Amino acid sequence: MVSGNIEDKHTFQKKAFIEITNLNKWFQDFHVLKDISLSVKQGEKIVICGPSGSGKSTLIRCINYIEEHQTGEICVDGIELKGDLKNIDSVRREVGMVFQSFNLFPHLTVLENCTLAPIWVRKTSHAEAKEIAMQYLEKVKIPEQAEKYPGQLSGGQQQRVAIARSLCMQPKIMLFDEPTSALDPEMIKEVLDVMVDLADSGMTMLVVTHEMGFASQVADRIIFMDEGRIIEQNTPNVFFENPKSERTRLFLSQILSH
Amino acid sequence: MGSAKTNIRNSKTIRKTPPIASTGSIGWIRKNLFSSIPNTILTVISVYFLATIIPVAFDWAFISSQASGENRFSCSSSGACWAWIDQRWGQFLFGFYPESERWRPAVAFILLIPAILPWLIEDFFWQRYLRVFSIAYPVVATILLVGGAGLPEIPTDKFGGFMLNLIVGLSGIVLSLPIGVMLALGRRSKLPLIRYLCIGFIETVRGLPLIALLFVSNILLPIFLPTDVTLDSVVRVIIMVTAFAAAYIAEVIRGGLQAIPSGQYEAAQAMGLTYFNSMRLVILPQALRISIPGIVNTFIGLFKDTTLVIVIGLFDILGIANAMVSNPDWMGLSTETYVFVALFFFVVCFSMSRYSLWLERRLEKKGPHEW
Ligand SMILES: Nc1ncnc2c1ncn2[C@@H]1O[C@H](COP(=O)(O)OP(=O)(O)OP(=O)(O)O)[C@@H](O)[C@H]1O
Ligand SMILES: [Mg+2]
């Protein structure tokens, strides 16, 4: 399924961290995800792209069960996602998620946003949660905004806070759903820089994005989706230079032309 | 390039001080009262009305009024006759509560202040201890009012006057908010049974006049109780008023919940917060904040509705006023009596309204609330 050279790249970590087999999902009568199979190893960085409405968001939202799937299997870190609430909770603790619209909690300060889940989900002490939060706020380069409210920050800063907030739960994998598409061009870079740093630190990442520069820089694999199916997946080099399918070629020509 | 820079600097220095007439009291008057011809006309008409009404009212209430005397015949002045206050203020405040025991509701009222302020004001002094005290307060107040623990027992049908309005109003306010929150959440529940129960409750209670609910309360409530329990009439009123207000509050809060974007729910879910915690820590603080005007509006309505206790034979402050107006000694003094009663309600309701404005403004200072 995955070409040989990718596996060589991560010889130290071969365990499949996320294992999706024959996933199908419907919204009422609409078949959004069709027979998706995908396995992600620890430390792998995967970029998912595809035209609007192809089911990219839905796919990554299934991984932490924000969307419910109907058939097929999703295993995260050996835990199967089913209706069992306990399993869902343990998976959510391992999986961080960053949204296109930031979704920071506007009634809490930046620091409180970051300490909320560690305190209430991980039962970390207030002092320790604060320490961890400051550490990650420094990593995303905004420790000085800790006492501000999200509404007082720029879009780029808010998205970096959102990344820090997810990292505070010390997740094993991070999901990103178009983290830069709601941002003005001059702020995209500051967010991508943080994500590159994160990738370099060895985090497992699944990123839905159309930032192809970022994809070729950090991705181990690029997945192209269309109409609810994975059409093609390959290393960035092969994906950009020698796409297999006509659909991918068309998509790339559209996206790279501007 | 250089000249453009100086230009910018120049225009900045010019704008540093606003035009003189737009500041100070003259500026305010010009801007708010005489900004246009219609505005000026309205200002003149309003000033004319105030100038005719205020002196007359002031003269009636204070200058030409009389504040002592045995009965209405001893009032000879052209203004208001306040002589009855001296004789009757106890009844207006405490109803038929025995005079020798009236210190008890008075103490309960004074203790109410430290019990309530630490919830209304953040960072109130001794906040933690006082909040513990406020949790004990309902028990303390009940013992003081009803008796027990060495105090002689006073049957609740002796309760009356403004004390009764406060008891019913405050209990209703304190109880209806959490119940309203639960009904609002229940109405959005994924479990059909809970959802339909909540919808049924809200729509039934909202669809009936409160006065009808009070009339039927002695038929309705025993259905839900064991046969040997009889409910005290004050308790019955509190239950009905609470249920009534809770139905309205539930709808106000449901509106607030609907205004919160789904991304907030999703972010809370994705973090692994439980349903209870995500509501308590993320969703409700925001929904309640949006709903403050509607909630306070409901509370103000609830407080005024406490006068309806008259239909089940209790005498609140309005009931006492009605009784006095038809008393031969004081007959014909309805203006004075009702103005007096109105003042009590106005002070309480206006305070609630100001508090809600103050709270909204203080929350706004925490930065723009956008998603
Ligand atoms: N809650 C929902 N109910 C019904 N249909 C939905 C729902 N959410 C998404 N869809 C539909 O499912 C399809 C896939 O949506 P999805 O958001 O996964 O696409 P996407 O690839 O992320 O697109 P985009 O690039 O625009 O974000 C779309 O056609 C969308 O209209
Ligand atoms: Mg999407």
- Strand, coil or helix: B190: coil
Identify the pLDDT of residue B324: 85
Helix (H) or strand (E) holding B315: strand B315-316
Chain A neighbors of B263, CB-CB under 8 A: 99, 101-103
Tokens 């405040």, located at residue = B93
Size of interface A-B (CB pairs under 8 A): 76
Using H for helix, E for strand and C for coil, what is the string for A58-78?
A: HHHHHHCCCCCCCEEEEEECC
Atom of ligand 1 nearest to the CA of A56: 21
Strand blocks (E) in chain A: 16-27, 30-41, 45-49, 71-76, 79-80, 95-98, 173-177, 204-208, 221-226, 229-234
Kindly report the number of other CB atoms within 10 A of residue A243's CB atom: 20
Could you give the angle at which helices B233-259 and B210-220 cross, rounded to 10 degrees? Answer: 120
Question: Which of B191, B262, B265, B271 would you mutate first to test chain A, the one with the most A CBs within 10 A?
Answer: B271
| Spatial separation of the C-alpha atoms in residues A224 and B134, rounded to whole Å | 60
Supply φ then ψ for residue B228, to 5 degrees. Answer: -85, 0
Estimate to the nearest angstrom the gap between the alpha carbon of A115 and the chain centroid.
21
In the chain, the amino acid numbered A172 is K
Strands A71-76 and A79-80: antiparallel
Please report, for chain B, the start and end positions of each structural domain, with discontinuous segments joined by +: 14-63, 88-97+154-370
What are A205's strand-pairing partners?
A45, A174
Could you give the angle at which helices B334-364 and B317-325 cross, rounded to 10 degrees? Answer: 160
DSSP state of B36: S
Q: Does domain B88-97+154-370 correspond to CATH entry 3.50.50.60?
A: no
Identify the pLDDT of residue B1: 42
Among the partner residues B267, B274, B285, nearest to A103 by beta-carbon distance:
B267
What are A175's strand-pairing partners?
A97, A206
| Spatial separation of the C-alpha atoms in residues A44 and A220, rounded to whole Å | 6
B127 within 8 A of B143, measured Cβ to Cβ: no
Please give chain B's pLDDT, 371 residues, in tens: 444 444 444 444 555 666 655 667 888 888 888 888 888 999 999 999 999 999 989 888 888 888 777 777 777 777 888 878 878 888 889 988 988 889 999 999 999 999 988 888 887 788 888 888 889 999 999 999 888 888 888 888 889 899 999 999 999 999 999 999 999 999 999 999 999 999 999 999 999 999 999 888 877 777 777 777 777 889 989 999 999 999 999 999 999 999 999 999 999 999 999 999 999 999 999 999 999 999 999 999 999 999 999 988 899 999 989 888 888 887 778 888 899 899 999 999 999 999 999 998 888 877 666 66
Atom of ligand 1 nearest to the CA of A61: 18
Tokens 């087999």, located at residue = A21
DSSP state of B151: B
In the chain, the amino acid numbered A74 is I
What is the pTM assigned to this prediction? 0.85
Question: What residues of B are in the A interface, CB distance below 8 Å?
Answer: 261, 263-264, 266-274, 277, 281-282, 285-286, 289, 366-371
Q: Using alpha carbons, select from B313, B86, B371 the residue that is nearest to residue A101.
A: B371
Tokens 């009803």, located at residue = B146
